[in-house]
Structure 1
């Protein structure tokens, strides 16, 4: 959507106190369930002639209440997803321990009602709010009836891979099941970062790698994956090592991606590595020749997997 806005706090919302369609949630990952919420907000916006506005929280509530807690993707990705799904903009409510002490009634009467003024309010089936999670979807329905606000509760999304939820995606990533994570997300799971200078170990083995700076988001199980790596608007098949390098006695967690049929210098550029299948776990090899042979096998298998994708 044109003129997509990003508001730090309800007071910065350009539609503040005007009728609007509001959809509330954490939207961590913007998975298929979240996308259903956004779709309904867009449809209501078109029906009512009102801007569909996302209301979410930053930092993520769990990073305050149960640290450490990392997001699936960063806020830039989240905003790109909101824009792609036709939202007018996003309002980030600053979350803190003080904010968490607001009662459900205070949240409704001090923030949601006067600041956001929803004519239509959309939430997921398990949405809770207020101190001790005291507010429920039933609370919202009762509030909406009093205010003349249409409240829609979106039911969970079920696909063959299971119930769609952020927690299920996290479980999948924890065991390296990036195929299931991709199905639940409705798009590939990925990591992005700036390409840095490394130790040139891959180059010495005949498999130069892009050493990607890891950002503060959740990582998948350590191992070697079939991946695709985006460099600007170009995408290349790749095989990627995620984790330490025990063969070299290196315990630091690294993301190293070998791009197929690629020889350009991309130091300092941001790349995005999309994960498609776990090939194997992290291994320690007895010699560099053993490691070189395994990398060749990993690359061959990754090419085969990527070539079969539709």
Structure 2
């Protein structure tokens, strides 16, 4: 599930979009700037600095993702679509987010004009950017230029180094590559939390009921490039978190249709149609396969469920040990 919320009470998370007045509680904010797809460990190092700056802490982010604007025929695999990204921001102690619509007008702003927007329209007092952040028309703005333009405008500017894993920087592209390979462990390690999707449960063909595996069926965004296969998962159902096993793919045994996420929740009964679930991915079990008979399919589903239960129990124990170790260090 998403990173835990801070223990201290928070005021409602404010979201300011184009054309709206800046909420009073965000005036003079220090803002981390970026796309923040995934809200991964590197992103959260920026966000933590914004939260701890002693002034309102915010993010400036862009929707749609700039690549979707420049290359609409080849949309980026979004790790965190906008509603999920904003939900993650709200759990990290920020006061709010400035969501800038990425359109022709924004894309055509030069570097100086973009910084003027930050100072005048958004009323920021400071910004935090990553070491590789580029901005303005044709990506003309470099981190050093951001620093110089901010000084002219009286804004504080902090340029943060990359967060690395070994010798490689933590990046959204590396996480996407891991998910496309089915390497959930690597993706979750780089994210710093378990990757999850949020979707509405829809009516399906109801084949799972006849096989003894009734599933909650969800369509994921068309840009999702998660590897087709079987996963150990957990789903948030209301206030409960329920273990399960999931298939994402085209169902080659039946119809080779559009990709669908089908989640079987262990020891659960209830009507989920129309509900929106968060489903987090804990482990990879196997790739999608075609079976020659229903008996062979059910036998493999039984083994998949056993393996998912094992993975989830190991994950639960490891999480408890990690939490206990962190408590000892505190």
Query: TM-score band (shorter)?
Result: over 0.9
Residue of structure 1 in register with 2:52 after alignment: 43
Matched, 1:86 2:93: yes
Residue of structure 2 in register with 1:95 after alignment: 102
Counterpart CA distance in 1 for 2:292 and 2:126 is: 63
Residue pair 1:10, 1:16 contacting (<8 A) in 2 also: no
Residue of structure 1 in register with 2:323 after alignment: none
Task: Select 1:60's aligned residue among 54, 57, 65.
Answer: 65
How many angstroms does 1:189 deviate by?
Answer: 0.8
Task: Select 1:21's aligned residue among 26, 30, 47.
Answer: 30
Moved more, 88-97 or 156-165: 156-165
Q: Which has the higher strand share?
A: 1
How many angstroms does 1:22 deviate by?
Answer: 2.0
Residue of structure 1 in register with 2:17 after alignment: 8
Task: Select 1:242's aligned residue among 214, 233, 248.
Answer: 248
The alignment partner of 1:298 has SS state of helix
How many angstroms does 1:159 deviate by?
Answer: 2.7
Residue of structure 2 in register with 1:273 after alignment: 279
Counterpart CA distance in 2 for 1:219 and 1:234 is: 28
Moved more, 173-182 or 98-107: 98-107
TM-score (norm 2): 0.87
Counterpart CA distance in 2 for 1:17 and 1:209 is: 43
TM-score (norm 1): 0.93
How many angstroms does 1:88 deviate by?
Answer: 1.3
Gaps of 5+ in 1: none
Counterpart CA distance in 1 for 2:71 and 2:177 is: 17
The alignment partner of 2:263 has SS state of strand
How many angstroms does 1:167 deviate by?
Answer: 0.7
Task: Select 1:129's aligned residue among 125, 135, 160.
Answer: 135
Residue of structure 2 in register with 1:166 after alignment: 172
How many angstroms does 1:144 deviate by?
Answer: 2.5
Residue of structure 1 in register with 2:39 after alignment: 30
Matched, 1:197 2:203: yes
Residue of structure 2 in register with 1:227 after alignment: 233
RMSD: 1.9
Residue pair 2:119, 2:125 contacting (<8 A) in 1 also: no
Counterpart CA distance in 2 for 1:219 and 1:229 is: 20
Counterpart CA distance in 1 for 2:25 and 2:277 is: 37
How many angstroms does 1:118 deviate by?
Answer: 2.8
Residue pair 2:51, 2:93 contacting (<8 A) in 1 also: yes
Counterpart CA distance in 2 for 1:156 and 1:189 is: 21
* Count of residue correspondences: 305
Residue of structure 1 in register with 2:267 after alignment: 261
The alignment partner of 2:113 has SS state of helix
Residue of structure 1 in register with 2:76 after alignment: 69
Residue pair 1:17, 1:114 contacting (<8 A) in 2 also: no
Moved more, 182-191 or 300-309: 182-191
